[in-house]
Structure 1
């Protein structure tokens, strides 16, 4: 069933600069960039015996690319603690990982210019495969950015999020 826009006055697409990430039921502070939300389905080619001139195509296995999260480093240890669930240097033999709870479901929320939730994606069974501390440069004048690369086993757009009516300015 087609879903029609509630906000018939909106003509412009949404901007990409208002978003938040949530895991374990709370928002993670300071996320400044999210990259790589991508799904790819393999193409399986085959031919019918009686038609040698062309091939047919069917969908094959679907893969989900890793997602990279970037944020300015703070005293918040969310990135570091999650990374340590997969590998914790210095732990004793056989105790380097915690496979009990190293996967998380994430929610990526996007907001319009008025700060209203307009789109959300759910990422499933995500875990950290890479952690990069900030690059330090004494000659720079920039925010120290840390990154994590998150593997996931799928994502979907949350169809419970509907387009809101945008507020009008009182005049």
Structure 2
């Protein structure tokens, strides 16, 4: 029997294939950027002035953004800094799994050919009592959805 309610979005897991095996690198505060869009091209037909043809050209994907509390010892951050230091990109595949209340996958996204694009840390402010958040931004080629 199918579920009548949509799943919650706060119980998930991110798994990097080929970047260490520390469980700390699977825990993120937020994941965003799983989106696809078809870019289009406009074609104006001679003699037809009522409309323009809009044709699909290719799919494009936004960057994947992962946020978490700042981690000192991380294979994931080493992968990022190695990329920034040497400019040798080592793309990986990663899985994002949305879990049910038993911790079993409901839906998963397989993100292909992901590589580090940007790393940043939140502002340090003595007037706020917040934790330091690091933001990891990845470029990726495509993703597939598995349910």
Q: TM-score, normalised by structure 2?
A: 0.85
In 1, the alpha carbon distance for the partners of 2:40 and 2:71 equals 44
1:46-89 CA-to-partner distances (Å, cap 9, x unmatched) read 1333423222222112211101101112233233212123212x
RMSD: 1.9
In 2, the alpha carbon distance for the partners of 1:106 and 1:138 equals 36
Alignment check: 8 A CA contact 2:16 2:26 kept: no
35-44 vs 75-84, which moves further: 75-84
In 2, the alpha carbon distance for the partners of 1:52 and 1:134 equals 52
Q: Unaligned regions of 5+ residues in structure 1, if any?
A: 1-6, 89-95, 162-171
Identify the structure with the greater strand proportion. 2
Alignment check: 8 A CA contact 1:68 1:150 kept: yes
Q: Unaligned regions of 5+ residues in structure 2, if any?
A: none
Partner in structure 1 of residue 87 of structure 2? 97
How many residue pairs match? The answer is 143
In 1, the alpha carbon distance for the partners of 2:133 and 2:26 equals 13
Partner in structure 2 of residue 151 of structure 1? 139
Alignment check: 8 A CA contact 2:122 2:132 kept: yes
In 2, the alpha carbon distance for the partners of 1:106 and 1:60 equals 27
Moved over 6 A (4+): none
Q: Which structure: larger Rg?
A: 1
Pairing partner for 2:83 from 81, 86, 101? 86
Partner in structure 2 of residue 133 of structure 1? 121
1:72-124 CA-to-partner distances (Å, cap 9, x unmatched) read 12233233212123212xxxxxxx3334xx21111111012332210000111
In 1, the alpha carbon distance for the partners of 2:145 and 2:26 equals 22
In 1, the alpha carbon distance for the partners of 2:73 and 2:99 equals 24
Identify the structure with the greater helix proportion. 2
Alignment check: 8 A CA contact 1:73 1:134 kept: no
